């Protein structure tokens, strides 16, 4: 092991817990500003050459996402009176590696729109939910969205479909795929607009990274050429180059300690071999994602913070949101080859806000994709889409026809924040380190179901207009059982009684503790939250740098 630049007993300026979408940005911004930073990441530092087109390893053996097979079981239940059961794989899915889920995500990069930040004021309350306005506006966040565009690297085409933006995309839109052409042509027939999908994948060389080679292994896989704009590819190298950042991988945090005055002063963690360490620090940035950050706060309970660190509101872990979804598969007469290139090249936002007169809350977008992220094993494993059996010659014939000739118009939509949807510590199940397992309690709000159904119906209309030979439509009618968008569990707000962090992602309770990840989202947006998570991180970093220089942390 190389000589560590920082000793654990020496107080560093910041410990950043997690190196994902937000953590990578926090590490880069704070270290480049001259602060000493230690990043603790529980996974390894995989880079481009480490990634493979290996479905068995990545999708079945959880090489990146870990889960039960890797000693990290999770439990799930619908309602709080039920006993949670261990799930196969993970309910809350995220990658365990430097760059976090920004490494294996699909790269769809939608900005939120002005309405997202003030929807509660526009629409009024929704009974039984924690539906609320954000403490910030789109205008306040817009400069940071643009910062993400240019520093992280986003491809897209500026147009009337965009929310207001101060600067064009740094890279032009990716080449349209057949699935996108089918969507675009169908949308025109219906009077809707399918526009080039903004993606965190480079269409041309940018910031020293090469453009996409269209290999098709984006969703669920790491990019072999670093064209995908993960924080691993775009931010971590800059943080390390600053000379002020030490990245400690395979280090699993067990708790955040506080001093007598209630300030965070030490982060405890295990190294890979189980050795316990404690890093002293002036401040902590918790960017472990919407599941892990909540768990760590709950695990850091003390006599001073009996309900968990930073949890005087009781909101830590609550308001878990995933984004709803629907899927409409279409079979076409000619080859689509949706497995090639990036997941999606066209998106429709004509229904960003569903007409309230329909009697329910919701909104979203529709994009054009492969049915199974373009993976042959996944296509064969799933329930047959256009066949009646799942084995034998007939099924095989269908599989041969389906794989290259199908695409999917997927709905991505709102989820409402509920106190009863949450992340807690499982009272019985432990992970390999002996920590209580993540326990998810989740049942969609009735409006979530109506919204998913609405988007499924619109996608069916699109598929019909696109001329699909056969159409199969679905959404989860019994309720979602997990997700990859882990939102709302450390919600942002001005009121310390109903939120966990303030408008700069600072804990209401612990002045030198910041929670910066998907947990801080107040509402779910319409899907694809990573762009917003990254913009919030840049914004929080700006605030932290200013506050730290004024000794106000």
Partner 1 sequence: MSANTLSRRDFLHAAMCSSAACVRLSCSALTVSALFVAAGKTMAETLDTEISTINVLNPDEAADLAAIAARIIPSDETPGVTEAGAIYFIDYVLGSSRSELLAPVREGLVALKARSEEIFSQSDLSRLAPFQLDALLKEIENTGFFAMLRYLTVCGTFSLPEYGGNRDMTGHTLVGFDHRHVWAPPFGYYDADYMARGE
Closer residue to partner 1 (CB): 178 or 424: 178
Which one among 167, 396, 432, 549 touches partner 1, defined by CB under 8 A?
A: 396
Residues 402-421 as x/- pattern, contact with partner 1 by CB under 8 A = xxx-----------------
Residues 76-115 interacting with partner 1 (rule: CB under 8 A): none
Q: Which stretch binds partner 1 (CB under 8 A): 155-163, 212-220, 260-268, 302-310?
A: 212-220
d(CA 96, CA 291): 12
Contact 499, 509 (CB under 8 A): no
Instruction: Single out the residue of 538, 524, 550, 551 nearest to residue 110, CA to CA.
Output: 524
Closer residue to partner 1 (CB): 276 or 334: 334
Residues 313-332 interacting with partner 1 (rule: CB under 8 A): 332
d(CA 17, CA 377): 35
Instruction: Single out the residue of 371, 310, 313 nearest to residue 507, CA to CA.
Output: 310
Contact 263, 87 (CB under 8 A): no
Closer residue to partner 1 (CB): 70 or 543: 70
Provide, rounded to whole angstroms, the least separation between the CB of residue 7 and partner 1: 39
d(CA 524, CA 442): 15
How many chain residues touch partner 1 (CB under 8 A)? 46
Which one among 120, 165, 214, 263 touches partner 1, defined by CB under 8 A?
A: 214
Provide, rounded to whole angstroms, the least separation between the CB of residue 174 and partner 1: 9
Closer residue to partner 1 (CB): 60 or 474: 60
Which one among 341, 408, 410, 499 touches partner 1, defined by CB under 8 A?
A: 341
| Angle ∠(548,550,553) on CA atoms, nearest 5 | 45
Which one among 85, 273, 276, 334 touches partner 1, defined by CB under 8 A?
A: 334
SS3 176: coil
The verdict on 432 binding partner 1 (CB under 8 A) reads: no
Q: Which stretch binds partner 1 (CB under 8 A): 123-131, 229-237, 261-269, 397-405?
A: 397-405
Provide, rounded to whole angstroms, the least separation between the CB of residue 53 and partner 1: 7
The verdict on 469 binding partner 1 (CB under 8 A) reads: no
- In 249-392, which ranges are continuous DSSP H helix? 292-299, 376-381
Place of tokens 């993606």: 199
Contact 222, 58 (CB under 8 A): no
The verdict on 206 binding partner 1 (CB under 8 A) reads: no
SS3 437: strand
- Cα distances (angstroms) measured from residue 502 to each of 92, 264, 511, 514, 515: 25, 17, 10, 9, 10
CB-based burial, 90-105: b 16+ in 10 Å, e otherwise? bbbbbbbbbbbbbbbb
The verdict on 53 binding partner 1 (CB under 8 A) reads: yes
Residues 163-192 interacting with partner 1 (rule: CB under 8 A): 175-182, 184
Which one among 337, 420, 474, 476 touches partner 1, defined by CB under 8 A?
A: 337
Q: Which stretch binds partner 1 (CB under 8 A): 144-152, 209-217, 248-256, 284-292?
A: 209-217
- Cα distances (angstroms) measured from residue 465 to each of 186, 278, 351: 5, 60, 17
Closer residue to partner 1 (CB): 52 or 189: 52
Provide, rounded to whole angstroms, the least separation between the CB of residue 338 and partner 1: 8
| Angle ∠(349,344,469) on CA atoms, nearest 5 | 90
Closer residue to partner 1 (CB): 244 or 398: 398
* H-run or E-run covering 451: helix 446-466
User: Which positions lie near partner 1, rule CB under 8 A?
Assistant: 52-56, 60-61, 69, 175-182, 184, 213-216, 224, 332, 334-341, 376-377, 379-381, 390-393, 396, 399-400, 402-404
């Amino acid at each position: 092991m190389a000589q560590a630049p920082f000793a654990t007993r020496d107080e560093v300026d910041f410990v950043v817990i997690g190196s994902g979408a937000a953590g990578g940005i926090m590490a880069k911004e704070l270290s480049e500003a001259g602060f000493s930073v230690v990043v603790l990441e529980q996974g390894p530092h995989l880079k481009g050459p480490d990634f493979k087109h290996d479905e068995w390893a990545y999708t079945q053996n959880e090489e990146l996402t870990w889960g039960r097979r890797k000693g990290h079981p999770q439990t799930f239940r619908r309602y709080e009176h039920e006993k949670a059961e261990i799930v196969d794989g993970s309910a809350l899915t995220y990658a365990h590696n430097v760059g976090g889920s920004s490494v294996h995500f699909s790269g769809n990069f939608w900005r939120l729109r002005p309405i997202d930040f003030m929807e509660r004021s526009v629409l009024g309350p929704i009974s039984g939910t924690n539906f609320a306005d954000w403490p910030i506006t789109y205008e306040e966040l817009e400069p940071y969205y643009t910062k993400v565009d240019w520093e992280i690297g986003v491809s897209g085409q500026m147009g009337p479909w965009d929310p207001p933006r101060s600067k064009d995309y740094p890279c032009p839109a990716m080449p349209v795929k057949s699935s996108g052409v089918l969507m675009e042509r169908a949308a025109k027939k219906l009077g809707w607009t399918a526009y080039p999908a903004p993606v965190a994948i480079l269409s041309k060389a940018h910031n020293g990274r090469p453009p996409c080679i269209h290999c098709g292994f984006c969703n669920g896989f790491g990019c072999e050429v670093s064209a995908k704009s993960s924080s691993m590819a775009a931010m971590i190298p800059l943080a390390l180059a600053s000379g002020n950042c030490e990245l400690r991988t395979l280090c699993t945090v067990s708790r955040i300690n506080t001093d007598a005055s209630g300030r965070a002063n030490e982060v405890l963690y295990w190294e890979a071999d189980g050795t316990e360490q404690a890093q002293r620090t002036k401040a902590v940035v918790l960017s472990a994602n919407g599941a892990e950050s909540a768990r760590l706060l709950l695990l850091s309970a003390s006599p001073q913070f009996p309900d968990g660190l930073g949890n005087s509101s009781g909101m830590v872990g609550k308001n878990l949101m995933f984004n709803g979804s629907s899927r409409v598969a279409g079979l076409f007469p000619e080859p689509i080859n949706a497995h090639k290139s990036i997941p999606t090249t066209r998106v429709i936002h004509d229904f960003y806000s569903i007409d309230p007169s329909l009697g329910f809350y919701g909104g979203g977008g529709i994009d054009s994709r492969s049915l199974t992220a373009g993976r042959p094993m996944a296509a064969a494993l799933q329930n047959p889409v256009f066949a009646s059996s799942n084995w034998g010659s007939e099924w095989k014939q269908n599989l041969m026809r389906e794989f290259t000739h199908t695409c999917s118009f997927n709905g991505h939509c709102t989820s409402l924040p509920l106190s009863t949807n949450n992340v807690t510590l499982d009272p019985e199940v432990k992970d390999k380190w002996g920590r209580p397992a993540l326990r998810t309690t989740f049942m969609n709000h009735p409006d979530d179901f109506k919204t998913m159904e609405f988007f499924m119906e619109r996608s069916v209309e699109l598929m019909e207009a696109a001329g699909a030979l056969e159409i199969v439509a679905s959404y989860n009618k019994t309720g979602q059982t997990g997700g990859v968008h882990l939102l709302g569990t450390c919600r942002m707000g001005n009121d310390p009684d109903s939120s966990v962090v303030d408008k700069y992602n600072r804990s209401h309770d612990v002045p030198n503790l910041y929670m910066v990840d998907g947990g801080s989202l107040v509402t779910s947006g319409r899907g694809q939250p990573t762009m917003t998570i990254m913009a919030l991180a840049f914004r929080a970093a700006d605030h932290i740098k200013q506050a730290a220089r004024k000794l106000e942390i």
